[in-house]
């Protein structure tokens, strides 16, 4: 089935609402309505809902360079995450307890050259009334595109900073068909996603193909 960004965003929103708004047996209707309103406001700020990030995205960038990550975890610096859902410019995690471990781990992340990552407790009930929802945000310090997408001028240098050093230990070069999941984030289509538009995705594909055909990563894996 062809990828359609608006349909993917709507489907993701419905799924995250069903997951994060407390169920009727756990919260009164008034609490649930406030949760829905707060979630809608959050999506307006950091949406749409996504399944994973490009490996070059600031939210997952602090990982072992030999093993790229596509979702936030302890492998890229976060501690105490639980019941987590992802958005294009941040994520919500709902641990039981006060969530201080999450906040402390975010504050301890290395500085990023063009983005600032922060964490704050939300004054609303999400997932379960006994959980403490934490909003982790990625605020870009350079302007995004008019469509809200990450422009090529940001995506490309971040991708190259991550991928070019791999020539030192790579034995084979992976094709675009394999790498687009890692470069575009998910959900995604052939050349675009909820992070980058068609023009940017096509340019990333073109540059990646140029890189692998230099032979710098080894023979192309078939």
Average pLDDT over the chain reads 95
| CA dist 202 → 5, 67, 160, 180 (Å) | 16, 25, 15, 11
Q: pTM for this structure?
A: 0.95
What confidence category does residue 66 fall into, taking pLDDT thresholds of 50, 70 and 90?
confident
Distance CA 215, CA 139 (A): 36
Give, for 222, the enclosing helix (H) or strand (E).
none
At residue 16, the pLDDT reads 96
| CA dist 163 → 36, 38, 105, 157 (Å) | 40, 38, 26, 10
At residue 1, the pLDDT reads 55
Q: End-to-end alpha-carbon separation of the chain, Å?
A: 25
At residue 156, the pLDDT reads 98
Q: Which two tokens stand for residue 164?
A: 């070019």
Please state the rounded mean pLDDT for residues 41-64: 94
Distance CA 152, CA 191 (A): 13
């Amino acid at each position: 089935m062809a990828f359609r960004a608006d349909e993917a965003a709507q489907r993701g929103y419905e799924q995250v609402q069903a997951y994060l708004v407390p169920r009727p047996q756990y919260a009164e209707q008034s609490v649930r309505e406030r949760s829905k309103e707060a979630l809608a406001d959050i999506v307006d700020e950091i949406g749409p809902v996504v399944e994973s990030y490009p490996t070059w995205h600031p939210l997952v960038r602090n990982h072992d360079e030999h093993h790229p990550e596509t979702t936030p975890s302890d492998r890229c610096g976060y501690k105490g995450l639980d019941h987590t859902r992802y958005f294009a410019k941040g994520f919500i995690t709902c641990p039981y307890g006060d969530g201080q471990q999450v906040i402390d781990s975010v504050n301890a992340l290395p500085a990023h050259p063009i983005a600032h990552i922060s964490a704050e407790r939300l004054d609303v009930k999400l997932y379960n009334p006994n959980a403490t929802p934490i909003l982790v945000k990625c605020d870009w310090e350079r302007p995004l595109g008019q469509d809200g997408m990450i422009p090529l001028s940001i995506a490309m240098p971040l991708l190259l900073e991550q991928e070019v050093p791999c020539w030192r230990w790579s034995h084979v070069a992976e094709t675009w068909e394999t790498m687009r999941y890692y470069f575009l984030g998910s959900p995604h289509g052939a050349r675009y996603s909820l992070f980058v538009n068609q023009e940017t995705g096509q340019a990333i594909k073109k540059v990646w193909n140029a890189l692998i055909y230099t032979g710098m990563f080894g023979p192309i894996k078939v």
